[in-house]
Amino acid sequence: MKPINFDKNMVLASMAHDIKNSLALISAELNTVIESLPDNSGDTSKNLKRIQLETNRINSTLINLLGIYKASHERLLVAPDEVLLIDFVDDIVNHFKTTAENLGIQLSVDLQDPDLTWFFDPILIENLVKNLMSNALRYTASLLRITVYVEDELLYFKILDDGHGFPEAMLNCLSETYETEFKNGSTGLGLLFANQIAEMHKNKDKSGSIVLSNRVDGGAEIVLKLP
């Protein structure tokens, strides 16, 4: 009998897609259980909320893997559309609102102009921002703030938290040097892919980018810039 020839990347992408769907179901069931718990459930409620957060993070990682597969097969295309930022940001905040409340984290938004619109791929950028927010939510202590504004013909999404900040090595994770280290086993897959998505957004001589930094008064800051 002739051996079956598999495209390994396609098989892995298919598996990632199936796992992603299963995780979405688990997350929904967890939410049902959490909402049914009495107010005095204490550690049980806290632990389930943490499990739900980690489940959502794994789901985001799988979305990144599927995106990388599409990019490597030249199937990941940017489809810019005019986006009303107030609706776009509200959808993202509502996605994390319950989780933030369950974890006792204050989630706030500062939008420069409620009528602000911008051209970008709403699906790609929504997944990107959700991934950044998910990571920030995991490491923050008590607050998470997203600020959206325009400066020097660039749209800024600034995400602030009051956690311990980025380790020094992570601050360089988007450099070419770190990309080489990543291939040898370092972490940073999500940020590298997010930066790739940002760079795919171009306008004239400008490209999108992501910048990581630590705040002077404590916590981390992630800035997404789109031309």
More confident residue, 157 or 172: 157
Does 2 score more than 50 pLDDT?
no
CA distance 55 to 60: 9
Average pLDDT for residues 119-145, to the nearest whole number?
Answer: 91
* Amino acid found at 144: L
Structure tokens at 62: 């799988």
pLDDT in tens, 55-67: 877 877 777 666 6
More confident residue, 28 or 208: 208
Longest C-alpha distance within the chain, in Å? Answer: 67
The number of C-alpha atoms within 13 Å of 181 and in the hemisphere containing its C-beta is 13
Place of tokens 């396609």: 10
Average pLDDT for residues 133-137, to the nearest whole number?
Answer: 88
Closest among 125, 120, 123, 132 to 190, alpha carbons compared: 132
What are the residue ranges spanned by the domains of the chain? Answer: 8-72, 81-226
CB 213 within 8 A of CB 156: no
Position 180 scores a pLDDT of 42
CATH code, residues 81-226: 3.30.565.10
pLDDT in tens, 105-122: 999 999 999 999 999 999
